């Protein structure tokens, strides 16, 4: 079991060595509480835009309050707090920045510590749900202060009597409200100087106590003491709510706040207890597991009476209930929410309630929230999050309304392309989305899968007519499968395939990949896809060809090389392209043709060669916990290929022993025997002392808490050719 000092061994810089053209995770070293409203990052390079931190930089520009879920989304409601001392020749970030020693700084989930060499200031930061406390110890106390910066508009007031900074800032990459504000209340335990604190206006310090304008540059100076404690809280509702959030923080001092943040992280991380002879693997696991509990971020607050309220950017009003932000369901449905279904069901139910409130606010279920609907990526894959919950008995009271919302998206095309399905009318008329819409191959497959998800929710509610209707629709992927070439292909509206085709062509009709990565998104019915290919032998040969084909690509659809192409080409994993979400399930597909040894060897190779605890720790974008949780599941020894089926596909366990503390209060022990470096294959799987299906295991079976045992072997056992052992498919 992890204790507080173990949190300091988790280095949040894992996966943070990135640039625009190549991703080793595209992560940021977030210090926060799990699912906190704000994240905090030591900014090192504001000149690099979304890539404002790199672990090899030796420059500290301040603590950045951030809401950036991905560099491709951009940040919103962000600002930087930079302790300084002495006189400055210029107030800009470049002139105020200081060197620091990255090897001595602390980057932990619950705690930051940094010494600015230029100023000899040591600062510590600990987070809360709605803010943070910063403690700065000044070696040189003359002219000690803090610079606060933020791009975009602002309106702020300095209250010299209360030592408070309050007001709002406005900056975002996209939002329904053109004046979307983040309010703040920041107090200090030292008296603010009335003669040296103020706003930089036209490059000169103006000693005024309030100002509004663009591109905030604020100087705060303190009069006495060697240590300054800053307590900051934010709100998306009002300054009064920000003050309320801060006042609740004042009940704990700095050390208590640090301990509270640590306790929150230990609660989540200890839900999976790992034991293994190889401590390096254990260390990597917990470094990666931490990323599974950062998103989605809380976007609701508690009023004076403790009622949950949130700001709705579309109506620009305050509404009751939960709300969450910063989540792309195209990424997270595959892994993040299935993990919560095992060990965080209460939180899962809260999130579902928030997603339903998004539907109440704008009339469609969310697709990519940051802070509100951005409408990115194909499909409406929140459907899978709902269906997976439904078949597992999570959030049952809201399922009738969720079913209504899912069907609306399937039947009604929004006038605003950000909401609902794109090409809804055409899909319903033709049974596919045509090449008139970009990424049409992915849209068609994702809509077919969503139709399966609708059927699954309808089944839990006893709506047999809807089950039959949407199961039939769930096979619409057949309409774009070309048996001649063995790939999913774009079609014209007249039903003919688009003529130009090459399996290495990226983009245009496919999402962030080619036909190789994007022709296998038939999560709910691989048995049918196998038959479309011509049977198990042909499909097995296809998967082997995918793995052994050189990672070649054509930039056709983009016209230039995107980072996902570069990442696939950089490693020797053929066309598997584990750098991106469309490929997450591909290594597990050999189970569906009763060839598990290929899955086991491939999954082990991916884990061992493409993931680590270092700055280059991921093989591509770690989006909102999705890639991190792929690794978590793959270490446990099973993986949710088809969320909404209530089943996991067997893979290759990584540890001698794992204990999952399940949400129903039971402890599930997963033990691996003959766990040697030379033994790559699962000889048999037992649960409760009885041999069970070596290809799949149900959610219900795991939730019994009966011990699961994997027995590893040097060479794989001969597979038994029996259809009853194959993983879930609609048309078994």
Model pLDDT for residues 634-649, shown as the tens digit of each residue? 999 999 999 999 999 9
pLDDT surpasses 60 at 625: yes
Instruction: Give the architecture (CATH level 2) of 657-725.
Output: 2-Layer Sandwich (3.30)
Q: What is the mean pLDDT of residues 105-117?
A: 98
Going from the C-alpha of 369 to that of each of 336, 402, 619, 627, the distances in angstroms are 16, 18, 24, 18
- Residue 443 has a pLDDT of 98
Helix (H), strand (E), coil (C) string for 147-194: EEEEEEEEEEEEECCCCEEEEEEECCCCCCCCCCCEEEEEEECCCECC
Q: Is 255 helix (H, G, I), strand (E, B) or coil?
A: helix
- Residue 30 has a pLDDT of 98
pLDDT surpasses 80 at 242: yes
The answer as to CATH 2.70.98.10 being correct for domain 4-268 is: yes
Q: Indicate the Cα dihedral angle 43, 47, 52, 53, nearest 10°.
A: -70
Whole-angstrom distance, CA of residue 504 vs CA of residue 726:
30
pLDDT surpasses 70 at 722: no
Whole-angstrom distance, CA of residue 39 vs CA of residue 66:
5
Model pLDDT for residues 319-331, shown as the tens digit of each residue? 999 999 999 999 9
Q: What is the mean pLDDT of residues 446-462?
A: 98
Q: What's the mean per-residue pLDDT of the chain?
A: 97
pLDDT surpasses 90 at 724: no
- Residue 106 has a pLDDT of 98
List, as one string, the DSSP characters of 636-705. Answer: HTEE-SSTTSSEEEE----SSEEEEE-TTS-EEEEEEES--TT--EEEEEEETTEEE-SSEEEHHHHHTT
Q: How many C-beta atoms surround the C-beta of residue 143 within 10 A?
A: 15
Model pLDDT for residues 664-701, shown as the tens digit of each residue? 999 999 999 999 999 999 999 999 999 999 999 999 99
Domain map of the chain by residue range?
A: 4-268, 271-294+305-650, 657-725
Model pLDDT for residues 456-487, shown as the tens digit of each residue? 999 999 999 999 999 999 999 999 999 999 99
Looking at residue 192, the DSSP 8-state letter turns out to be B
Report yes or no: 168 and 154 within 8 Å, Cβ to Cβ.
yes
Q: How many C-beta atoms surround the C-beta of residue 619 within 10 A?
A: 27
By DSSP bridging, strand 708-713 and strand 667-673 are: parallel
Q: What is the mean pLDDT of residues 347-351?
A: 98
- Residue 91 has a pLDDT of 79
Whole-angstrom distance, CA of residue 672 vs CA of residue 69:
36
What pTM was estimated for this model as a whole? 0.97
The helix or strand, by DSSP H or E, that contains position 155, with its residue range, turns out to be strand 145-159
Model pLDDT for residues 376-395, shown as the tens digit of each residue? 999 999 999 999 999 999 99
CATH topology of domain 271-294+305-650: Glycosyl hydrolase family fold (1.20.1610)
pLDDT surpasses 60 at 723: no
Q: Is 504 helix (H, G, I), strand (E, B) or coil?
A: coil
Model pLDDT for residues 589-607, shown as the tens digit of each residue? 999 999 999 999 999 999 9
- Residue 225 has a pLDDT of 87
Token couple for 547: 């793995």
Q: What is the mean pLDDT of residues 326-350?
A: 98
- Residue 469 has a pLDDT of 98
pLDDT surpasses 90 at 718: no
Question: For residue 463, is the peptide bond before it cis, meaning its omega torsion is within 30 degrees of 0?
Answer: no
With pLDDT > 70 as the criterion, what percentage of the chain qualifies? Answer: 99
Largest CA distance in the chain: 83
Give alpha helix (H) positions in 66-159: 93-96
């Amino acid at each position: 079991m992890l204790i507080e000092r173990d949190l300091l061994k988790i280095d949040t810089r894992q996966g943070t060595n990135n640039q625009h053209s190549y991703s080793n995770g595209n992560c940021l070293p977030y210090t926060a509480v799990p699912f906190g409203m704000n994240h905090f990052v030591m900014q090192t390079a504001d000149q690099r835009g979304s890539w404002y931190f790199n672990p090899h930089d030796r420059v500290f520009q301040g603590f950045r309050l951030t809401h950036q879920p991905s560099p491709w989304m951009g940040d919103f409601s962000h600002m930087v707090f930079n302790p300084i001392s002495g006189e400055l020749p210029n107030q800009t970030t470049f002139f105020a920045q200081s060197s620091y020693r990255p090897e001595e700084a602390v980057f932990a989930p619950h705690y930051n510590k940094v010494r600015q060499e230029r100023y000899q200031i040591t600062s510590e930061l600990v987070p809360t749900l709605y803010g943070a406390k910063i403690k700065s110890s000044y070696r040189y106390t003359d002219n000690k202060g803090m610079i606060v910066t933020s791009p975009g508009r602002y309106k702020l007031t300095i209250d010299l009597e209360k030592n408070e900074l309050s007001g709002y800032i406005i900056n975002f990459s996209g939002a329904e409200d053109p004046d979307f504000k983040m309010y703040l209340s920041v107090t200090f335990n030292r008296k603010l100087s009335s003669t040296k604190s103020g706003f930089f206006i036209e490059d000169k310090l103006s000693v005024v106590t309030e100002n509004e304008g663009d591109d905030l540059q604020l100087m705060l100076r303190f009069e006495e003491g060697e240590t300054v404690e800053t307590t900051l809280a934010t709100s998306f509702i009002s300054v009064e709510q920000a003050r309320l959030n801060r006042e609740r923080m004042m009940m704990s001092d700095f050390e208590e706040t640090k301990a509270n943040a640590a306790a929150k992280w230990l609660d989540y991380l200890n839900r999976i207890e790992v034991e293994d002879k190889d401590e390096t693997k254990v260390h990597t696991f917990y470094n990666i597991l931490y990323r599974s509990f950062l998103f989605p971020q809380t976007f609701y607050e508690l009023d004076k009476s403790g009622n949950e309220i949130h700001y709705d950017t579309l109506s620009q009003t305050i509404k009751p209930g939960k709300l969450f932000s910063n989540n792309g369901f195209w990424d997270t449905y595959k892994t993040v929410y299935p993990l919560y279904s095992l060990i965080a069901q209460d939180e899962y139910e809260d999130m579902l309630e928030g997603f339903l409130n998004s539907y109440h606010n704008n009339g469609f279920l969310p697709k990519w929230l940051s802070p509100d609907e951005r409408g990115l990526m194909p499909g409406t894959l929140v459907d899978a999050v709902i269906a997976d919950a439904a078949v597992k008995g999570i959030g049952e009271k809201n399922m009738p309304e969720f079913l209504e919302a899912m069907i609306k998206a399937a039947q009604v095309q929004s006038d605003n392309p950000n909401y609902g399905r794109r090409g809804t009318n055409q899909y319903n008329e033709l049974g596919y989305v045509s090449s008139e819409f970009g990424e049409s191959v992915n849209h068609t497959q994702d809509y077919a899968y969503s139709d399966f998800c609708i059927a699954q929710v309808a089944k839990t509610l006893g709506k047999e007519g809807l089950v039959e209707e949407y199961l039939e629709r769930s096979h619409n992927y057949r309409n774009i499968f070309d048996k001649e070439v063995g790939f999913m292909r774009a079609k014209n509206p007249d039903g003919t395939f688009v003529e130009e085709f090459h399996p290495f062509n990226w983009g245009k009709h496919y999402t962030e990949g080619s036909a190789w990565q994007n022709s296998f998104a038939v999560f709910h019915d691989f048995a049918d896809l196998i038959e479309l290919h011509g049977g198990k032998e042909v499909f097995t040969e296809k998967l082997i060809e995918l793995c052994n084909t050189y990672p070649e690509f054509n930039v056709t659809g983009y016209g230039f090389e995107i980072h996902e192409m570069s990442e696939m080409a950089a490693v020797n994993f053929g066309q598997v392209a584990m750098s991106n979400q469309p490929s997450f399930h591909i290594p597990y597909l050999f189970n569906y043709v009763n060839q598990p040894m290929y899955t086991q060897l491939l999954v082990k190779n991916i884990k061992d060669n493409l993931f680590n605890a270092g700055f280059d720790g991921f093989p591509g974008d770690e989006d909102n916990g999705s890639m991190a949780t792929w690794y978590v599941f793959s270490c446990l020894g099973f993986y949710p290929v088809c969320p909404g089926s209530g089943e996991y596909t067997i893979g290759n366990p990584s540890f001698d022993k794992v204990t999952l503390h399940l949400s129903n209060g039971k402890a599930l022990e997963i033990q691996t025997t003959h766990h040697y470096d030379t033994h790559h294959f699962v000889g048999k799987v037992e649960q409760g002392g009885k041999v069970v299906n070596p290809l799949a295991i149900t959610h219900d079976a795991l939730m019994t808490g009966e011990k699961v045992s994997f027995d590893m072997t040097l060479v794989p056992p001969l597979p038994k050719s029996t259809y009853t052992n194959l993983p879930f498919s609609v048309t078994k």
